[in-house]
Amino acid sequence: MTTQIRINRADQLHAQADTLFVAAERIEQFSRACAASNNPEGSACWQRIAKIYLIEAEAFAVKAEKITGKRS
């Protein structure tokens, strides 16, 4: 992979990670709203969904760092 292609790929992965981190924060707001309205089941559901988003975001960030050599 050429350097420019690697940089472009890393940029794509970072963008995807950023999008997922933002989405996870929004979903966590739903969880907090459910908790505030005495809906523990809804809160727990939104927490699980946010956790999945965070796991995926971290995976994209790690891939990007490996491509750029910031992580081995």
pLDDT digits (tens, 9 = 90+) for 2-57: 888 888 999 999 999 999 999 999 999 999 999 999 999 999 999 999 999 999 99
Is 10 contained in some domain?
yes
Is 64 in contact with 10 (CB distance < 8 Å)? yes
- Within a domain: 72: no
Host domain of residue 33: 3-67
- What confidence category does residue 66 fall into, taking pLDDT thresholds of 50, 70 and 90? very high
In whole angstroms, give the CA distance from residue 70 to residue 72: 7
Total tally of structural domains belonging to the chain:
1
Question: Which residue, 29, 48, 27, 26, is CA-closest to 37?
Answer: 29
Query: Quick one: pLDDT at residue 72?
Result: 60
Q: pTM, whole model, 2 decimals?
A: 0.86
Does 22 map to a domain? yes
R_g (Cα) of the chain, nearest Å: 16
